[in-house]
Amino acid sequence: MSVIIKQVTDRKGLRRFAKFPNDLYRGNKFFVPQIVSMDMDTFDPRKNRAFEVCEGEYWLAQDETGKIVGRIAGIINHKYNEKVGQKICRFGWIDFIDSQEVASALLAKVEEYARNKGMDFVEGPVGFLEFDVAGVLVDGFDQIPTAYGKYNDPYYEPMILKEGYTKSTDFVEYLITVPENVDRYIKLGELVGERYGFRQGEFKNKKELVRKYVDGIFSCLNRCYSPLHGFSELTPAQCEDLKNQFISNLQLDFVSVVVDKDDKVIGFGITLPSLSKALQKANGSLFPFGFIHILRALKKNDTIDALLIAILPEYQDKGVNSMIFSKIGGGMIKHGIKYVESTRELEDNHSVQNIWGRFEHHLHKRARVYIKSLK
């Protein structure tokens, strides 16, 4: 096969870039299409504040007939590179047909980009920031991913390894069965609050949640996530982007903000009703009917996705996790939730995984990030 790599330079090309995996996996019952217009906003420097600290380019692979057969992004997160003292180029949003030639051409283009930028390593798949989709699925091909994960066919890993890449780190995902005796854990959370003088932050609506606690939530997040692989501290503008992205979908019964006696945020948990099946029905578009499927999923569901959980280090041994589960557990009872999906967690992020340790759970998906030295 003759593979032609073309850089994306206009809005039409960006749409083709965003839409490619939806075409590639059309009819696959495990694939969850992303909303094309939302992905396009992610790739647009005018709409994504990640470009305050990042730069990037996008490429499409075409065969000799002009058919798109692959895509890839090359990204440099300057803030993260400064933090770790390394020159790393990221590759992200990689998808390709079952062809070593295509995989090789895509990765070679990113490596060329990295060398031209003076980088020493290529690592991926990762996005601009920690909250972009990351990793190649290597286990769990018979599972539907969360809305914040990604499906790919099994041939991705062997083809990436053949290009000289090795494992950098893994992300894992757990399926947790909600226990029948949730009341027991709710009571435990109440006892922890009484013992240490902690309490649930009070908010009657989303507007009040934002006004009273969103700054404390992001401050807690930045501090807790700082040691994690691939994370660079979020700027105020990037926090604003995340707030706008998620606040409208929040169900307050599935949000916990734990505060001390001075109303300072010391930990929080944010979960959302699963949108995976709704996104499959939406098939990449909010209109004319996609948004209806999403609204229905937000109101009626038996599964929630654990999106963000963080507890300040000095409070991690004081049972704050019990308080977080106590609040969200009450929401589970109220709404008939049977399962919790953990979104992708670093395999060595034991502080988060310990939260699930007391419940029936099993690891059912694993995604891998790879690295290659250019020296």
pLDDT of 64 reads 95
pLDDT of 159 reads 98
Question: Tokens 């929630």 belong to which residue?
Answer: 304
Which residues, 6 or more positions from 108, have their beta carbon under 8 angstroms from its beta carbon?
Answer: 163
Name the average pLDDT for the chain.
Answer: 94
The Cα 121–Cα 180 span in angstroms is: 48
pLDDT < 50 stretches in the chain: none
pLDDT of 327 reads 92
Whether this prediction's pTM lies above 0.75 is answered by yes
Phi, psi of 167 (to 5 degrees): -60, 135
pLDDT of 186 reads 80
The Cα 112–Cα 303 span in angstroms is: 43
pLDDT of 28 reads 96
Phi, psi of 202 (to 5 degrees): -100, 125
pLDDT of 182 reads 77
pLDDT of 90 reads 98
Pairing of strands 121-124, 136-139: unpaired
pLDDT of 188 reads 84
Report the amino acid identity of residue 9.
T
Query: Which residues are registered as beta bridge partners of 268?
Result: 257, 310
- 213-242 residue pLDDT tens: 999 999 999 999 999 888 999 999 999 998
pLDDT of 10 reads 96
Which residues, 6 or more positions from 206, have their beta carbon under 8 angstroms from its beta carbon?
Answer: 247, 248, 250, 252
Pairing of strands 88-96, 166-177: unpaired
pLDDT of 349 reads 79
